[in-house]
Amino acid sequence: MSVPKAVFSGRPATFAASSAVGGSAPAKTAGPPPAGGPAGGGPRRRRRRLLQSLEGWGFVGPALVIVLGLSIFPAVWAFFLSLQKWDGFSDPKFLGAGNYREMLADGELGGAVLHTVVYTVLFVPSSVLLGLFLAVALNRRIRFIGLYRTAIFVPFVASAAATGILTTYLFSPQFGLFNNILRVLNMPQQGWLEDPGQAMIVITIMSLWGQAAFTTVIYLAALQDVPGDLLEAARIDGASSWQTFWRVVFPQLAPVTVFVAIWQTIQAIQLFDLVYTTTRGGPLNATETIVYFLWQAAFKNLQFGYGSAVAYGLFGATLLITIGVVLYSRRTKMEAF
Amino acid sequence: MFSTPGTRSRRTRGILATAAATAALLALSACGSSSGVETLDESADVTITMWTGQEDSAQKYLEALADEFEQEHPNVKIDLSPGASSTEDLLQKLSAGFAGNNYPDISYAFGSWAGQLEASNRTLDITDQVADPAVKWDEFSPAARDTARPSGNKTIGFPAVVDNISLLYNKKLFDAAGVAYPTDEWTWDDFRAAAKQVSDPGQNIYGYAYSVSGSEETTWQFWPKFWQNGGEILNGDQTEATFNSKAGVDALAMLQGMAIDDKSVYLDQTDTKFGQLFASDRIGMITSGPWQLYDLGVAGTEYGVTQLPGTDGDHKTVSGADIWALFDHKDANKAHWAFEFTNWLTQAEQDEQWNVAYGNLPLRASEIDSPAFQEQAAKLPGLTVMAANAVNAEIARPTLPGYVGLSEAVGQAISEVLQGKGEPDAALDAAVEKANKALAED
Amino acid sequence: MSAPRALPVSTPAAGSDGSVPAPTAKPGRGRKRRLPFSAAHLLLLPVSLLFVLPFVQMFLTSVTPEAEINRFPPAFIPSHITFAGFEKLFAESDILRWTGNTVLVSAVAIISNIVLCSLAGYGFARLKFAGRDIGFLAILATIMIPTQLLMIPTYIMFSKLGLIDTLGAAMVPWLASTFGIFLMRQFFLSLPAELEEAAMIDGATRWQVFFRIIMPLAKPAIATLAIFTLLGSWNDLVWPLIAINNADAFTLQLGLSNFQGTRRTEWSLLMAGNVVATLPLILFFLFAQKQFIATMTFSGLKG
C-alpha cells in the first residue's frame, strides 16, 4: 500500500504547468507557518502536536467519517460477503476463496470483461479527443460563443434515466429519429441497440453526449494556462496554427490529458447506469459490462457473495491500472498527480 | 515516513477507533431485533405493509379497496406501495429486505418465485385457515392453488392474478396480405405459413414476434408448444431437467426455422416492444395475454383473439398464476390481519373491483358470469376468449426454488438460437446442464 | 481581523467576473479571412444543434398525442401539440410530492457537502496533522470502489438504522463526497498561503481564518460543488430504487421509473415527467454555469 500513498498524496496536486495563481501556492502549503526546530522535543511540543492533530481532525473528521463510513466500512463488509454463498433468503455458507476461483472459470464474466474493455477503448480516447476538440473550438471570442458553450455543456445535467429513455427513443429501429432520417434518405435501416454489433457504439455515443462537458471544461481551463509568449514565439518562427497546436500547445496539455484519461478510464470501467436504463446487458449480452454483470449476479440471481467477489476483482484491476498509468506518466515526466 | 507524533498517541487513537466501531456495530445489531405480539388481539392497532408490484394505474384500484377495508376495520392500517419500479424487481427487493430484516407483510410475487420464497422460511403457512369453507379456496384454478403451495407442504399465500396466453392477430395485416384469419382449429404449421405470408421485411412488417430478452417472458412462451409435443420440464422426482428431449428440440427448431429461415419473427430485445409494434400494425400475430388488450383499445388496433395453435388437436397453453405471498413477522396480529385482508381482497366481490376492473382475468370461476366482467368483456374484445382459454392451462410451471435458474438457462438458449448463435439440440443440452446445477443448489 | 476585501494577490474570485475562460490563446494568426464571420461557426453551429437535439426530442414527444408516437412511418414533428401528457402527470401522479422530496434531498446534500467538504478540503490542503496522508489516500481510494458493491451492506446498515423507506436513505449517501473533498482541496491549494499567515500573526485562530477569509474566497469552488452535488443527488436512481419503497418518500427519478411499466409505457407522460425533472437542472445550470466554468478554470481540478 505504500505505492499509491506516494502517488496520490506525496505532493500537492498541481501540474508542472500550473496557472500563475496556482503555481506559487504548493510550495507554501507544506506546513503550519512557524514550525521549525528538530523533531523530538519535550512534552510541550508533544502537546502542541496533539492540539494540531485535534484541529486537523476537527476539520477533516466529519466528512471523513461519512465518506469512509459509507464506503470503506461496507466495502470491508462486502469482502466478508465475498467469501460466502448467500442469497439473503437462507443462512450464509462460508466458501473461502471459492467465489474467486469460480470467477476465473466464468465464461460470461470473461465476456463482460471483454465488453468493458471494448467500451473503454471506444469511450476514453473519443471523450478525450472530443473534449480537446470542443475546447479548442470554444476557446475563442466570437459571437454566440456563450450559446454554443451552453448547448454543449447542458447535456451534462441529464440524468442516466432520461438519457436512457432518450437513447431508446432516438435509436428505436421502428420509430426512432435516426432510422427515420435514414429512411427518408433511402439508406438502409439499422438495428442500433437491437444489433449486438452496434449496441455498444450507441451507448458510447450517448455517454459522450452526456459527458463531453466534463472533458471540455477541463481542457478549456488548461488552455488558459498555455503561456502566450510560447504561442507568440511559435508564430514568429512561422509555424502554422496546426503545427503550433500539436507542437506547442498540446505538450503543455499533456498532464491534463493524463488526468482526464485516468478519470475517464475509471468511469468507463464502472459503466452501469446507461446499460441499466437502456439494454439491460442485451442483445445477446453484447452490452453486459463488469459492473452490470456483478449487479445482475448480486441483485437478480441473488448471489451476494459472488457479486462482491467480482466487485473486488474489478477494484483490484482498477487500482493496478491507475498505479501503472501514474508511474508511467511520472517516469515520462507528465505529472498529473 | 511522515512527521507524525509519537507512536503512543497513534496507538491510543487506534484503540479508540476500534472501540467506537465496535460500539457502533453493537448498537446496530441491538436495534434490529424487535419482538412482535404473541397472542392475537383483534382490536389492537396494527399496520400491514403490502408491496403490490403494480404500475400506477393498477395501483389505484388496490388503494381504493385498501381504503374500504380500513374503514371496516378502523384499527387496521394498510400501507400500500408498489415495492419496486417493476414487478420483476420485487424479488431483489424482497431478498434485500430479508437480508436487512425489513420486509413487508404481503407482497405480490410471480408464481415462478414461489418455491424460493417458501425456502426462505419467512412465509406464513395458511393451510389450515384456507380450509375454512368461507374462503372458497376451491374456486381458484388448480394451477393457481398449486402455485400458492409450492412444495405441497405449506400454503404461503393467495392467488393474486391469473392469466394465460392466447393468439392475437392483426386483422389489418392479414387483410393486406390476403391471408385468412386464424381459427381455433389451427396447427402450428398453419401458424408458421401465415406468419411467413404476412411478413414484409422491406416494410418492417413481421408475421410473429418473440422476446429474446432471456427473461421468463422468453421462457414461458416456449412451454405451450413443448407441452403439446408431450414434453416434461423435469423428471418424475423433480431433481433433473429434461427439456432437451425431442419435444424441446422440435419446438425450438420450429421457432428457429421461423426466425432464421422464414425471417418472419420480430426478435424483441425487451419484453414490451412487440406489444406496441402489434398495436401499430407492424406485427401480424403475437401470443400474449389480457394485459395487452387495453393498449390495443387505446391504439384502435383491429385485432382478433383465439386459442393457441395446436398439435394433434391439443391446444395447451401456459398460465401465469401470481400470488400474494404472506410473510411472517412473529406477530400474531400482523399475521391475522395480513390473512384477513388478502382473503377479503381475493373474494369475488372485491376481485371484480380490482382484477376485473383493471382488465385482468377474474381470479375465481364464479366471476365470469358477473355483470362486472361482462361489462369489461364488452370493452375489451377477446377477453372472454382468453377467459375461456383457461381450460387449456392444464399444466403449471414448476414451482420449486430452482425454477428461477432453470428459466434463465432456457431463456438464454432460446435467445441464442433465434439470433443465429446456436443449434436447438446443443443449446438445450447446455441449458439442461446449467438448470441441473441450479436445481441441485436449492 | 483583516478584512477579506483587502487582498494583496489576485485571487480566483477575481476571475469569476463572468468573462468565462478568457481566451489568451491564438491572437491573430496570419488570418486570411474570406468569410464575414469566423469559420468556427461552421463547426460549432451543427455540433451545438446535435447536442441540443435529444432535449428537443424530449420536449416534442411530451407534447405529441400518444396515438402518434408509435405510428409508422414516424413523423418528425407532431401534427398538433397537446399538453395531455402534462395534464395527466399533474392530475394523476404525485409529481409535486416527488419534486418536493427531491428538492429537500438535494438541498440537504448541497448544504452538507459545502460545509463538510470545505472543512475537509481545507484541512487536507493546509493543516498538518497525524494521519492526514493516510486519511486522504483512503478517500481517494474510494473512487475506485464500484458503488454497486456497497449496496447490500449499506442496505443492511441503513435498515438497522431505520433509514430504509425514508428520505434519509436517499440523503445520507450525499452528505459528503470524495469528489467534493478533492475539489475543495485542490482549490485551497491554489490559494496563496500568505493571506492566512498574515491573519494568524494578527492572532486569528484557524477557524476564524477559515470562516472569515477562506470561505468568502471559495465562492466559485462552492458553486461548482453545488452543481455537482445537485446533479448527483437529483438524478440518483439505482440506490433509491433499492432503498425506498414507500411512495411518500419517492424522489422524482424513482416516481418516473414507475411510468415505464413492464407491459406498457406511455411515452408522452414519461417524457413530460422527464421535462419536469430536467428543467430545474437546466435552469440552475444556466444560472450557475459562469461560476462553474470559472472554478474549473482556476481550481486545480484540471489536475
The 3-state secondary structure of C229-249, one letter per residue: HHHHHHHCCHHHHHHCCCHHH
Nearest C-alpha neighbor of A298 from the set B382, B386, B424, C154? C154
Grid cell listed for B72:
371496516
| Phi, psi (deg, nearest 5) at residue B135 | -75, -25
Give a yes or no: residue B12 inside a domain. Answer: no
Per-residue pLDDT at A17: 30
d(CA A100, nearest CA chain B) in Å = 18
Q: Return all residues near C227 (Cβ < 8 A) that are at least 6 apart.
A: C284, C285, C288, C292
pLDDT score at A18: 32
Whether B84 and B125 map to the same domain: the answer is yes
Which of C64, C94, C98, C159 has the most B C-beta neighbours within 10 Å, making it the best mutation to test the interface with B? Answer: C159
Q: Are residues B60 and B102 in the same domain?
A: yes
CB C293 within 8 A of CB C20: yes
pLDDT at site A33: 40
Alpha-helical (H) ranges within chain C are 12-15, 40-62, 66-69, 84-92, 95-126, 132-141, 147-160, 167-171, 178-189, 194-201, 206-208, 215-217, 219-235, 238-243, 252-257, 267-298
From B20's Cα to the closest Cα of chain A, the distance in A is 12
Contact state of A148 with C124 under an 8 Å Cβ cutoff: no
Intervals of chain B under pLDDT 70: 1-36, 442
Contact in structure between A162 and C277 (CB atoms under 8 Å): yes
Which residues 75-114 of chain A have a CB within 8 Å of chain C? 75, 77-78, 81, 88
- Tell me the chain B residues in contact with residue A173 when contact means C-beta distances shorter than 8 Å: 204
Do B279 and B424 fall within a single domain? yes
Under 8 Å between Cβ of A281 and A326:
no
Q: Which residues of C touch B204 (CB under 8 A)?
A: 72
- What element of type H or E holds B96? helix B90-99
Of C88, C216, C243, which is closest to residue C160 (Cα–Cα)?
C243
B273 and B289, same domain (yes or no): yes
The owner of cell 476461483 is A101
B237 and B299, same structural domain? yes
Residue B404 exposed, middle or buried by CB count within 10 Å (0-12, 13-18, 19+): buried
Q: Which helix (DSSP H) or strand (DSSP E) does residue A320 occupy?
A: helix A304-331
For residue B4, what pLDDT is reported?
33
Same domain, B50 and B173: no
- By CB atoms closer than 10 A (0-12, 13-18, 19+), residue B409 is buried
- Which among C228, C232, C231, C221 is positioned nearest to C294, based on CA atoms? C221
- Cβ separation A301–B405 shorter than 8 A: yes
Assigned C-alpha cell, B432: 439442461
Closest residue in A to C134 (Cα) is: A5
**A48 at the B interface (CB within 8 A)?**
no
Q: How far is A102 from chain B (nearest CA, A)?
A: 14
Please indicate, yes or no, whether residues B311 and B326 belong to a single structural domain of this protein.
no
Which residues of B fall within a CB distance of 8 Å from A66? none
Considering only CB atoms, C245 lies closest to which of B51, B57, B101, namely B51
The beta-carbon neighbor of A8 closest among C130, C140, C153 is C140
Contact A46 B116 (CB under 8 A): no
- Indicate if B279 and B428 belong to the same structural domain: yes
**pTM (2 decimals)?**
0.80
Polymer length of chain A:
337
Q: Select the residue from B28, B102, B270 to test the C interface by mutation, using most C Cβ atoms within 10 A.
A: B102
CB B101, CB B36: distance < 8 Å: no
For chain A positions 298-317, those within 8 Å of chain B (CB to CB) are: 299-302, 304
Residue B375 placed within a domain = yes
Give C55 to chain B, closest Cα distance, Å. 23
Q: Are residues B306 and B200 in the same domain?
A: yes
Place of cell 468569410: C35
What separation in angstroms does the CA of B276 have from each of A174, B172, B263, B268, C266?
Answer: 11, 15, 20, 11, 10
> How far B240 CA lies from chain C's nearest CA (Å)?
31
Instruction: For chain A, 337 residues long, give each residue's pLDDT as a single digit of tens.
Output: 222 222 222 233 332 333 333 333 333 333 344 444 444 456 777 888 888 888 888 899 999 999 999 988 899 988 998 998 887 777 788 888 888 998 898 888 999 999 999 999 999 999 999 999 999 888 888 888 888 988 998 898 899 889 998 998 899 887 888 988 898 898 888 889 888 899 999 999 999 999 888 899 888 888 877 777 777 777 777 777 778 888 888 888 888 888 888 889 988 998 998 998 888 887 888 999 999 998 888 877 788 899 999 999 998 888 888 888 778 777 775 544 4
CA A261 to chain centre: 8
Q: Do B248 and B339 belong to one domain?
A: no
Residue B17 lies in a domain: no
Question: How much is the pLDDT for A173?
Answer: 83
The rounded distance, in Å, linking the Cα atoms of C217 and C221 is: 9
B2, B204, B279 member nearest C70 (Cβ) = B279
Cα(A261)–Cα(A254) distance, rounded to whole angstroms?
10
Q: Which chain C residue is nearest to residue B295, measuring alpha carbons?
A: C264
Nearest alpha-carbon partner for C190 in A221, A250, A249: A221
Domain membership flag for residue B20: no
Q: Domains in chain B: how many in total?
A: 2
According to DSSP, residue B200 is labeled: B
Contact A283 B419 (CB under 8 A): yes
* CATH (domain of B148): 3.40.190.10
Tell me, what's the pLDDT at A334? 53
1.10.3720.10, 1.10.357.10, 3.20.20.80, 1.10.3260.10: which CATH number matches C50-302? 1.10.3720.10
Nearest CB among B204, B269, B408 relative to A174 is that of B204
CB A292 within 8 A of CB A176: no
Q: Identify whether B10 is part of a domain.
A: no
In angstroms, the separation between the Cα of residue A128 and the nearest Cα of chain B is 32
Residues of B in contact with C257 (CB under 8 A): 85
Ordered structural domains, chain A, with CATH: 43-81 (no CATH), 99-331 (1.10.3720.10)
Answer yes or no: do C146 and A315 touch at CB < 8 A: yes
For residue B270, what is the nearest residue in chain A, using CA coordinates? A279
Q: How is residue B297 written as a grid cell?
A: 383499445
Contact A282 B9 (CB under 8 A): no
Neighbouring chains to B with at least 3 Cβ pairs closer than 8 Å:
A, C
Does residue B432 share a domain with residue B309?
A: yes
**Which chains have 3 or more CB–CB distances shorter than 8 Å to chain A?**
B, C
Same domain, yes or no: B121 and B54 = yes
Q: Domain range for residue B293?
A: 166-317+402-441
Helix (H, G, I), strand (E, B) or coil at B325: strand
Would you write out chain C's pLDDT as a tens digit for each of its 303 residues?
333 333 333 333 333 333 334 344 444 444 455 667 777 788 899 999 999 999 999 999 899 887 777 776 777 888 888 898 899 889 888 899 999 999 999 999 999 999 999 999 999 988 888 888 888 888 888 888 888 788 888 988 888 888 888 899 999 999 999 989 988 998 888 888 887 888 888 888 888 888 888 888 888 888 888 888 998 999 988 888 888 877 788 999 988 887 776 556 778 888 999 999 999 999 888 887 777 776 666 554 444
